[in-house]
Amino acid sequence: MKSCCYSKPNLREIEKIVIKTGLEIAKKEEGALFIISDNIKYKRMLKQKIQAFSVCDTGARKLLPSIGAIDGAVIINRNGIVTDYGVEIGAKKVLKGYGTRHSAAYSASFEKNTIAILVSQEERKIKIFRKGRIIAQIDALEKNVDKHINRIHTILESVGVGALSMVGFSLLAPELGIAILPGIVLFGLPYYVLKRLRKDL
């Protein structure tokens, strides 16, 4: 099978694959939660019938939308291996105004080196959580939005997650973020970063 991850696993590539899978799921009006982490705690809700596989293997990758749509979260380690699916993430923190999937993503993102990528069934949007913050939102219904996924990662890397300030989750709405590309919103950007980004785009 063709692989996108070579000798050293590429977290950025893994994230891009998961986001593209999320867009596919959202377009079908389904929801999902993907957790990229080596140390997240969870509880299995069903017997694992599918063996662990790499999201970087193009053949095995076709399984991602199917297991993502199963109730519960999909766990992917930082080497890109899907280790579990259909699992329950204990939501220690509640995201007011949103369902259990949002609270699970929010809670999980507080864990060290953890990225939560949520597919909202109702909104048909992808939300990326890091360090207890929502840092980006991608509209699956925006035409050609998948073509901008590489650019959003370049921007996030140049800005750095530390530059993104905390967003008040109870008031979370597109108006609070900055639409940097069609269908893609970044949250919590300070003015000086926004000014720099506008020059670069």
Residue 199 in domain: no
Count how many residues are written for the chain: 201
Residue 168 in domain: no
Which residues on neighbouring strands pair with residue 128, listed in sequence order? 117, 136
Residue 82 in domain: yes
Q: 62: domain CATH number?
A: 3.40.1700.10
Give me the number of domains the chain comprises. Answer: 1
What pTM did the predictor assign?
0.82
DSSP 31-62: -EEEEE-SS---EE-S---S--EETTBTTGGG
Tell me which residue of 59, 61, 79 sits closest to 6, measured CA to CA: 79
Q: What tens digit of pLDDT does each residue of 143-177 get? A: 888 887 777 666 666 555 444 444 433 334 444 56
Residue 80 in domain: yes
Tell me which residue of 199, 139, 193 sits closest to 165, measured CA to CA: 193
pLDDT mean over 18-23: 94
C-beta separation of 151 from 186 below 8 A: no
Residue 66 in domain: yes
Residue 1 in domain: no
pLDDT of residue 164: 47
| Average pLDDT of the residues of the chain | 79
Range of the domain at 69: 11-141
Whole-angstrom Cα Rg for the chain: 16
Residue 6 in domain: no
pLDDT of residue 2: 43
Beta strands in the chain (DSSP E): 32-36, 43-44, 53-54, 73-76, 81-88, 115-120, 125-130, 133-139, 177-181, 184-187
**How would you class 123 by CB atoms within 10 Å of its CB: exposed for 0-12, middle for 13-18, buried for 19 or more?**
middle
pLDDT of residue 3: 46
Residue 153 in domain: no
